[in-house]
Amino acid sequence: MKLPRDLNGDELIQALRRFGYNQTRQAGSHVTMTWPDPLQHHLTVPQHKPIKTGTLSAILKEFGRRHGMELPAVLRALRL
């Protein structure tokens, strides 16, 4: 399954919010999103337009590892 090529940081942040992540901090153009589980999980999302495909792939793979999903399921879950 192909990654979206035109996804920007704000769109990914909104998708993570719909899934239950909260913004916990921001340093420059990078936003840290945190899963509020007892075992917290942090993802750093650059607010770039668009996010480079390698960076997006790494973020989505990390999300998938934490939630036990393969890439196609991650894209469906986040509605990307």
User: Domain extents for the chain?
Assistant: 9-77
Q: Which CATH number fits domain 9-77: 3.40.640.10, 3.30.920.30, 3.90.230.10, 2.160.10.10?
A: 3.30.920.30
The token duo for 57 is: 């792939």
Whether the predicted pLDDT of 1 surpasses 80: no
The DSSP secondary-structure symbol of 39 reads S
**How many contiguous H segments (helices) and E segments (strands) does the chain have?**
3, 3
Average per-residue pLDDT in the chain?
A: 94
pLDDT in tens, 8-31: 999 999 999 999 999 999 999 999
